[in-house]
Structure 1
Amino acid sequence: MAHHGWGGRPPASDAEARQRIVDATARCIDRHGVVKTTLSDVAHELGVTRQTVYRHFDRISDIVGEVAAQGAESFVDRLVDHLQGIGDPAGAVVEGMMFCLRTIPTEPRLSLLLQLRDSAAFGRGATAADAIAYGAQMLHRFPVDWASAGVGEDDLNGLAEIIMRLLTSLLEHPSEPPHDEAEIRALLNRWLAPALRRTGPRPERGCSSQLAPAGRWHGTTS
């Protein structure tokens, strides 16, 4: 690891160097935007050469992806905290999606996930196996007893994929004119929530689930 540059404070480890590169990239993105941020900008911000940055990251998109990932970790913690007290699966999923729709566009680091075409969380990468597995891990953290609700491990993967597909569509391709929050919540309650309101035990594979009444278009989760 080179000890030149770094503002006169060379990192003590590779891990520290990587984190300082990520932090510098975040500052560059704040100033220039993700599209105009280059690896040269990051190197200049740190006072190092491009080759020094290349020792830790192969591409600028890899660094930007790490900036987004770190923002996502904090976001998930806040999401789970927001859902505390909502033990109903349908209510938790709908409220969680509404939280995502409100928060992601206003968070610079989270918004990067929508701009990165090879992102593993949203965009074209939203249906990748690792992204779905990550989504299922997020659902595990919801204050919901999934097993008692008849939702198994395989179901959580499927639910995570549906949620990510819906979020991607709603965030990247809003309706014209745009739906307000109440309309989107009603849409989710009408068409998504009923799938999580089984009235009987979990059915065998190949059998239809029993669903609670869907309610009206403008119904609530209660």
Structure 2
Amino acid sequence: MYRYFANADALLAATALTETGRFLDVLAAHLDRITDPADAVVEGIAYTLEALPQDRYLSLLLTPGRAGAFSVAVTSDAALAFGRAILDRFAVDWERAGFDGARLDELVEHMLRIVQSFVVDPGRPPRRGPALRDYLSTWVAPGVAGIRSAGTESGDRTG
């Protein structure tokens, strides 16, 4: 086994990554009616954080006790591609909302960093349900909504 994987953590990571497609399908189904970018990002982050403890594969990687081993990989090419696959499954018209490819990549990075932060330190007490969504709506949603506003304003200046 160690001829294929450097250590047990590498084996766990490979196992979890093979199961990400199933998680993406479940997440996409959960978000399939949310078309507002800010609402979709808030619910996507909240749902992911709430689903992680129950997901037997992803929880191997993303639980407070194990997160340190994978923290440095939160912005790896694989993690960013995984995050982009999540956004691509959202029912949001990203282009219409003002997100080009570069902005989507930045949004993926931001979302992964937020998830990582909550995994490493869930808070005291950990936020769940409406409290988690309220927090994300207050602190994350305005940044997402601001992209549309910035795009509209720049469009107004040129037109």
TM-score bracket, normalised by the shorter chain, equals 0.7 to 0.9
- Cα deviation per residue 1:33-81 (whole Å; 9 max; x = unaligned)? xxxxxxxxxxxxxxxxxxxx34544533332222111222211111011
Where does residue 157 of structure 2 map in the other structure? none
Where does residue 189 of structure 1 map in the other structure? 137
Identity of matched residues, %: 34
Displacement of 1:116 in angstroms is 5.9
Where does residue 151 of structure 1 map in the other structure? 99
CA contact (8 A) 2:67 2:120 kept: no
1:126 maps onto 2:126 in alignment: no
- Cα deviation per residue 1:114-169 (whole Å; 9 max; x = unaligned)? 226454xxx22102233223312321121110000001100111111111111111
Larger radius of gyration: 1
Separation of aligned partners in 1, 2:126 and 2:134:
14
Separation of aligned partners in 1, 2:50 and 2:17:
19
CA contact (8 A) 1:151 1:202 kept: no
Structure 1 residues 64 and 96: alpha-carbon distance in aligned structure 2, compared to 1, 3 A threshold: same
Where does residue 85 of structure 1 map in the other structure? 33
Separation of aligned partners in 2, 1:79 and 1:101:
11
Separation of aligned partners in 1, 2:124 and 2:68:
24
- Which aligned pairs between 1:1-12 and structure 2 lie closer than 5 A? none
Alpha-carbon RMSD = 2.1
CA contact (8 A) 1:104 1:111 kept: yes
Structure 1 residues 165 and 96: alpha-carbon distance in aligned structure 2, compared to 1, 3 A threshold: same
TM-score when normalising by structure 1: 0.60
Unpaired runs of 5+ residues, structure 1, are 1-52, 205-222
Unpaired runs of 5+ residues, structure 2, are 155-159
Aligned length: 149
Displacement of 1:182 in angstroms is 1.5
Which structure would you say has the larger RCO, counting Cα contacts within 8 Å and 6 or more residues apart? 2
- Cα deviation per residue 1:83-107 (whole Å; 9 max; x = unaligned)? 1111111111111111101100122
Looking at secondary structure, tell me which structure has more helix per residue. Answer: 2
TM-score when normalising by structure 2: 0.82
Structure 1 residues 200 and 154: alpha-carbon distance in aligned structure 2, compared to 1, 3 A threshold: closer
